[in-house]
Chain A
Amino acid sequence: MLADTAKPHAQGRVPHGDLTQRVGVEQISARGVDVDTLIEKLVDAAGAEFTTYYYYTILRMYLAGEEDYKEICEDARLEDRAHFELITPRIYELGGTIPYDIRTLADRAGCPDAYLPGSSNGQHAMANPRDIVTNASAAQILEVLLEAERCAIRTWSEVCDLTFGKDPRTYDMAMRILNEEVEHEAWFIELLSKERDGVSRPSGHFRRGAPGDAPYSKNHGFYNP
């Protein structure tokens, strides 16, 4: 009985001094989380965030001349990088690792590569360093950005489902990331709706303090007048 023990949480299944096990893992496993599967999902998700950061760098560049779209794309880009930074340490806390080869990480990404339209799914021949794609429209790029965010929402919603009530730490991280992905989707819906369809679908977007401020995933205060 707990009442019979002066400090009931001072000991448990993990022997004192044992470094091969983690109470932080044992506790969530006892609450029903298959930790190995969770690690795999988080690695896939981290891969998706990292590749998104890379591909959004390209997409942002090719929103040439569209300063407003560029700035919002930049916010999403840096926030998705912050998502990678937030979740990767958790992978290690759970006893896992990210792949040792960046190509493996990219291959494992749970969401498709956000290729620049007109780049032949990333295979555009680069005969020389100035061989750039010239026919990617803002609407096409915004649609790629939008669908990338939608995949991220589904991914992090799944992680939230798996960890809610069982793994508070991963849930907290996943919930923070999901918050920002939902915002990102709303932004790109608003922009694409106006750009492609001439229809207003407001996102409720207010400017971030500085690009990539990531109010949920970087613990900064968020806009709340």
Chain B
Amino acid sequence: MPRGEVSVPVRDDEFILAAARRQGLELPSLCEQGWCITCAVELLEGEVDQSASRRFYQDDREAGFALICTGMPRSNLRLRPGATEKMRAFRISRRLPVPRGTGLRGAVRGNLSPYASPSKGGELERE
């Protein structure tokens, strides 16, 4: 997970996660189909097209979450990765379907996960 702010150029027709990987950033993901919320981010600014996500609700959008594995930019974006637990808690509070165990954080004490801590947020610029 990156530390500090990182700027990543993303094409209109490209998933944000794929663009991040192109830049050498390793962000959490699992199903890669917009379902398991492992890749959940907080959308601080901008708009994301989630039409390719297998399970994404209007409630999620209104609460400011995005799933970057299958999200494409529709504007310049500012994102904060590592929002899996927040999004899960939100879904549970709204009685929306959500896995309870996806995301590595907390599963092993003395966390060996490469996804150990969230960044402060990364700007993403449309190409």
A residues neighboring B (CB under 8 Å)? 32-34, 37-45, 47, 106-113, 121, 147, 150-151, 154-155, 158, 161-162, 166
Contact = CB atoms under 8 A, between A and B. Distances in A.
Contacts of A39: 101
- Main DSSP-derived SS at the B contact region: loop
A37 B106 contact: yes
Contacts, number: 77
Nearest to A41: B101
B106 A34 contact: yes
25 contacts: A32-B109, A33-B107, A33-B108, A34-B107, A37-B101, A37-B106, A38-B107, A40-B101, A43-B100, A44-B36, A45-B101, A106-B97, A110-B31, A110-B36, A110-B102, A112-B33, A112-B34, A112-B35, A151-B30, A151-B36, A154-B30, A154-B31, A155-B30, A161-B104, A161-B112
Contacts of B55: 112
A38 to B, nearest CB: 6
Contact of B54 (A38, A110, A112): A112
Nearest to B96: A107
Contact of B101 (A32, A110, A111, A112): A110
Nearest to B36: A110
Contacts of A38: 101, 107
Nearest to A32: B109
B60 to A, nearest CB: 15
Interface of B: 30-36, 54-55, 97-102, 104, 106-110, 112
A42 B63 CA distance: 28
B20 to A, nearest CB: 17
Nearest to A37: B107
B96 to A, nearest CB: 8
Contact of A44 (B54, B100, B108, B112): B100
Nearest to A157: B30
Given A34-B108, A107-B97, A151 B102 contact: no
A162 B107 CA distance: 7
Given A108-B97, A111-B36, A162 B108 contact: yes
Contacts of B35: 110-112
Contacts of A44: 36, 99-102
Nearest to A113: B54
A150 B29 CA distance: 12
B91 to A, nearest CB: 10
B33 A34 contact: no
A40 B99 CA distance: 8
Nearest to B53: A112
Contacts of A34: 106-109
Contacts of B31: 110-112, 151, 154
B101 A43 contact: yes
Nearest to B95: A107
* Closest CB pairs A-B (n = 4): A40-B101, A107-B97, A41-B101, A112-B35
A151 B100 contact: no
Nearest to B33: A112
Contact of A158 (B34, B97, B100, B104): B104
A209 B51 CA distance: 42
Contact of B33 (A37, A42, A151, A155): A151
Contact of B30 (A40, A106, A110, A121): A110
